[in-house]
């Protein structure tokens, strides 16, 4: 098992409290020691200059490692865009001692060759702009990097890696800590992704267009498996990043037959998602107004989590208790 660094914040917690805590995956995007930017010029491992105007990739098949090597599967696909630091909620699985994480880069074979148009618009496997789907036969683009390279950055390059045989699992070294800035107090899995290493052993200095399963496209996915991800610096996430209790209210809560979701002090287009205690998505819908009534008549008793997204970014999470 790779080394895990536990960062205690304001106070320590008993192991029994872990099982009741949300798990959050945080990926911060880097170019070496600098924060990623699409206009930043960096030096590749082979010595040439490059920038990366676009970096996108899927992660899936997420496995939380806990309690002496047990693995809990999180059945989700996430589309990561290096233009935005990633915050992913992984639910509230039954964990006493958290030990690590595994995940795969790309889309698992059972979904890789299905029709993207069958998904809701906000689903990561739905059609994207820029496109992340190559075709029904070839499937999704697992990872994409595009930019300019060489002297004066005059040579454009594109590498798109795909293919069921290149669906690699990574088990990165991580930091994790208990986030105490919020009433939710989640466990945060803290990872830095260094995209200089995406081009390790790959020469794009004279321009390169490689879309496919082999050669540099496969090398890119191998680098994502072996060389991209490492432990973060343990910097606590802001309240607004994790949860802003002032964004929404849920009344009544606990509730039995219905509840009212109300936004406060926000205007714009929002997507509301509801997840159960395991992190499974129950529903996803666009909020047409600042008030949304939620029919709970078919819901089983238990704890649920209402998540609010603006332009794809999570801005709030609230717990909902259903009791009948």
**Can you tell me the mean pLDDT for 147-176?**
96
Please report the domains of the chain, with CATH numbers, ordered by start residue. 4-231 (no CATH), 244-322 (2.60.40.3080)
Measured CA to CA, the distance from residue 90 to residue 315 in angstroms comes to 15
Angle at 216 between CA 213 and CA 222, to 5 degrees: 80
Q: How confident is the model at residue 306 (pLDDT cuts 50, 70, 90)?
A: confident
β-pair partners for 98? 66
Contact 8, 178 (CB under 8 A): yes
Handedness of CA 88, 92, 98, 103 (dihedral sign): negative
Is residue 278 over pLDDT 80?
Answer: no
Report the pLDDT value the prediction gives residue 131, as an integer from 0 to 100: 96
Residue by residue, DSSP assigns 146-183 as EEEESGGG-EEEEEEEE-GGG--EE---EEEEE--SST
Q: Which of 29-38, 170-179, 307-316 has the lowest mean pLDDT?
A: 307-316
Average pLDDT, the chain: 85
| Residue in this structure with the two tokens 């008993």, named with its chain if needed | 14
Query: Which token pair is 240?
Result: 């607004």
**Can you tell me the mean pLDDT for 114-129?**
92
- Is residue 90 reached through a cis peptide bond, with omega within 30 degrees of 0 on the bond before it? no
Is residue 170 over pLDDT 90?
Answer: yes
Contact 26, 172 (CB under 8 A): no
Contact 304, 317 (CB under 8 A): no
Which H or E run includes 6? strand 4-7
β-pair partners for 156? 148
Contact 259, 323 (CB under 8 A): no
Contact 294, 285 (CB under 8 A): no
Measured CA to CA, the distance from residue 295 to residue 258 in angstroms comes to 5
Query: Which token pair is 260?
Result: 């009212």
Angle at 163 between CA 201 and CA 191, to 5 degrees: 60
Q: How far is CA 80 from CA 26, 124, 195, 234, 238, in A?
A: 11, 9, 13, 20, 20
Q: Of how many residues is the chain composed?
A: 324
Higher-pLDDT residue of 95 and 114 is 114
DSSP classification of residue 255: B
**Can you tell me the mean pLDDT for 298-308?**
85
Report the pLDDT value the prediction gives residue 10, as an integer from 0 to 100: 30
Is residue 219 over pLDDT 80?
Answer: yes
Report the pLDDT value the prediction gives residue 190, as an integer from 0 to 100: 93
Nearest to 289 by CA among 260, 321, 319: 260
Report the pLDDT value the prediction gives residue 320, as an integer from 0 to 100: 86
**pTM for this prediction:** 0.73
Q: Is 216 helix (H, G, I), strand (E, B) or coil?
A: helix
| Residue in this structure with the two tokens 């992190």, named with its chain if needed | 279
Is residue 277 over pLDDT 70?
Answer: no
Query: Which token pair is 154?
Result: 């005059």
Q: How far is CA 237 from CA 27, 170, 301, in A?
A: 11, 24, 31
Measured CA to CA, the distance from residue 31 to residue 70 in angstroms comes to 33
Contact 206, 216 (CB under 8 A): no
Higher-pLDDT residue of 175 and 52 is 52
């Amino acid at each position: 098992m790779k080394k895990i660094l536990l960062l205690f914040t304001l106070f320590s917690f008993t192991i029994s409290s872990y099982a009741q805590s949300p798990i959050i995956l945080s990926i911060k995007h880097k170019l070496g020691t600098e924060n990623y930017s699409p206009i930043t010029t960096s030096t590749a491992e082979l010595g040439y200059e490059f920038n990366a105007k676009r970096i996108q990739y899927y992660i899936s098949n997420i496995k939380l490692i806990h309690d002496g090597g047990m693995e809990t599967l999180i059945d989700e696909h996430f589309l990561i865009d290096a233009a935005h630091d990633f915050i992913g909620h992984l639910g509230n699985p039954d964990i006493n001692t958290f030990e690590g994480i595994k995940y795969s880069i790309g889309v698992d074979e059972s979904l890789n060759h299905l029709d993207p148009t069958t998904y809701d618009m906000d689903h990561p496997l739905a059609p994207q702009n820029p496109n992340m789907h190559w075709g029904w036969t070839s499937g999704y683009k697992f990872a994409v990097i595009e930019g300019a390279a060489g002297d004066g950055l005059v040579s454009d390059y594109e590498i798109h890696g795909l293919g069921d045989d290149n669906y690699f699992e990574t088990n990165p070294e991580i930091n994790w800590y208990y986030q105490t800035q919020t009433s939710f107090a989640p466990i945060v899995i803290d990872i830095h992704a260094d995209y200089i290493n995406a081009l390790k052993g790959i020469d794009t200095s004279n321009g390169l267009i490689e879309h496919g399963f082999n050669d540099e496209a496969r090398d890119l996915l191998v680098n994502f498996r072996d060389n991209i991800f490492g432990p973060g610096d343990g910097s606590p996430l802001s309240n607004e990043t994790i949860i802003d209790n002032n964004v929404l209210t849920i009344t009544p809560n606990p509730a039995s037959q219905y509840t009212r979701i109300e936004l406060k002090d926000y205007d714009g287009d929002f997507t509301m998602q509801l997840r159960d205690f395991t992190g499974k998505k129950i529903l996803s819908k666009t909020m047409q107004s600042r008030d949304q009534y939620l029919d709970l008549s078919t819901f089983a008793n238990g704890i649920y989590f209402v998540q609010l997204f603006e332009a794809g970014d999570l801005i709030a999470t609230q717990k909902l208790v259903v009791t009948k």
